[in-house]
Amino acid sequence: MNEFIDSLVNQLDSLPVIVAYTFFYLSGVLQMIFPPYPGDEIFIFGGYLGSQGKAGGFFPIFISYFLGILSISFFFFLVSHRNKDLIYKNRIVGSVINEDVKEKSRKNFKKHGWLMFFMGRFIPGLSLVTVIMGGVIGFNKSVALSLIAFSSFVHEAVFFFIGCVIGSNKLYITKFISIYNIFFIGILVLMVLLFVFKKFLKKEKRN
């Protein structure tokens, strides 16, 4: 964390609770739209504060961050869903995504969308991309928003619980984030390899 954020986090307990709640809300928003921002580390520390009854307590800290994640995710999904036709008409997008690619993407998202929304929240840097893709593809609104809410809740609950367990030790927090990132990026690589292998087998059968 940069020095300013680090200093602010260390002072959270002494700040008015409304400032603390606003900080956690904005951290959730920034975590989604600017992944290098250390939102996860801050939220883990928030779990520790909540477990100690500090900065307003357990429930408000969790809800503040969760609402930040949820509101920005819903916003980008609904905007991309509403403007999907305009996005496809864009010259740059149109040159990359033709009708055939669009139809294949729609079919894949219909079939595996639930998994993509869920895993997208857990794989570093992919959460907002998955949300926007779902909107552009035209994934069912109610299903998509439910999946976004559920996956976000599970993700934040895990991180908050970790914060309650490992406390305020920055070394442990950094170590956990590092292991977490390696694990889920590994899962992403494995999923891509399995997808490519499956496509290769289908191609071989046709031949």
User: Nearest 5°: phi and psi at 52?
Assistant: -95, 0
pTM (predicted TM-score)? 0.80
Please tell me the distance from the alpha carbon of residue 39 to that of residue 46, in angstroms, as a whole number.
10
> Which long-range CB contacts under 8 A does 186-195 form with residues at least 24 apart?
187/119, 187/123, 188/119, 188/123, 188/126, 191/119
Angle at the Cα of 103 from the Cα atoms of 98 and 108, rounded to 5 degrees: 125
Percent of the chain exceeding pLDDT 90 equals 19
pLDDT digits (tens, 9 = 90+) for 25-83: 999 999 999 877 888 888 888 888 877 777 667 788 899 999 999 999 999 999 989 98
**CA 60 vs CA 18, 115, 142: distances in Å:** 10, 29, 26
Residues 147-185: pLDDT tens digits?
999 999 999 999 999 888 887 677 788 888 888 888 888
- For the chain, the structural domain boundaries read 3-206
* Distance from C-alpha of 84 to C-alpha of 194, rounded to nearest angstrom: 29
